[in-house]
């Protein structure tokens, strides 16, 4: 039944992400996403495309770290497309720190996908050991009871 609730968009999800640069306080990206027809030759599987499926994401700035030139965002995807958050942030010129696909050059993404990028080089190129995107909250009603489940992973934003 929970799977059906996800499919019917009855579960609200939010994420936290550290991104490059200083973002606006609040912004919405409404940009369609499409699986690329040249995916076998392109390392970016999906991209912003006017003929794609609608995709909308809300972003709220929580914190800016000037030493790192990085912003912590709360993110609410209003649709559920593949790589939606990553693509929308890349499109806004604020890629997620640690993203080896949408936060780097085509050459680095290709090397990563072909397993030609050492861990040390990947960290150097992306700025982190892992993708700095974290599922943070689920909000839904199930059997007449409201559930508000929030991650206790505070190290992500400390």
47 and 34 Cβ atoms separated by less than 8 Å: yes
Residue 134 has a pLDDT of: 95
Residue 44 has a pLDDT of: 66
Residue 35 has a pLDDT of: 85
The CA distance from 30 to 1, in Å, is 29
From the CB of residue 33, how many other CB atoms can be counted at a distance below 10 Å? 20
Domain ranges of the chain: 2-149
Residue 158 has a pLDDT of: 60
CATH code of 2-149, in short, is: 3.30.2350.10
| Total count of residues recorded for the chain | 158
Residue 155 has a pLDDT of: 65
SS3 67: coil
54 CB-near residues (< 8 Å, 6+ apart): 30, 32, 79
* Average pLDDT of adjacent 10-residue blocks, the chain of 158 residues: 84 96 98 80 76 97 96 96 94 96 85 90 92 94 93 69
Dihedral, CA of residue 109, residue 114, residue 115 and residue 118, to nearest 10 = -40
């Amino acid at each position: 039944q929970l799977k059906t609730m996800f499919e019917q968009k009855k579960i609200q999800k939010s994420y936290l992400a550290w991104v490059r640069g200083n973002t606006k306080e609040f912004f919405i990206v409404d940009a369609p996403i499409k699986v690329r027809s040249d995916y076998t030759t392109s390392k970016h599987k999906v991209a912003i495309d006017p003929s794609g499926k609608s995709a909308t994401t809300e972003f709220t700035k929580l914190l800016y770290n000037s030493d790192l030139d990085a912003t912590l965002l709360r993110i609410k995807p209003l649709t559920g497309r593949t790589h939606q958050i990553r693509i929308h942030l890349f499109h806004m010129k604020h890629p997620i720190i640690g993203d080896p696909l949408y936060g780097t050059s085509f050459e680095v993404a290709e090397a990563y996908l072909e397993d030609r990028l050492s861990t040390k080089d990947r960290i150097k190129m992306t700025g982190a050991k892992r993708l700095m995107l974290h599922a943070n909250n689920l909000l839904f009603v199930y059997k007449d009871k409201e559930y508000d489940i929030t991650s206790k992973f505070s190290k992500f934003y400390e």
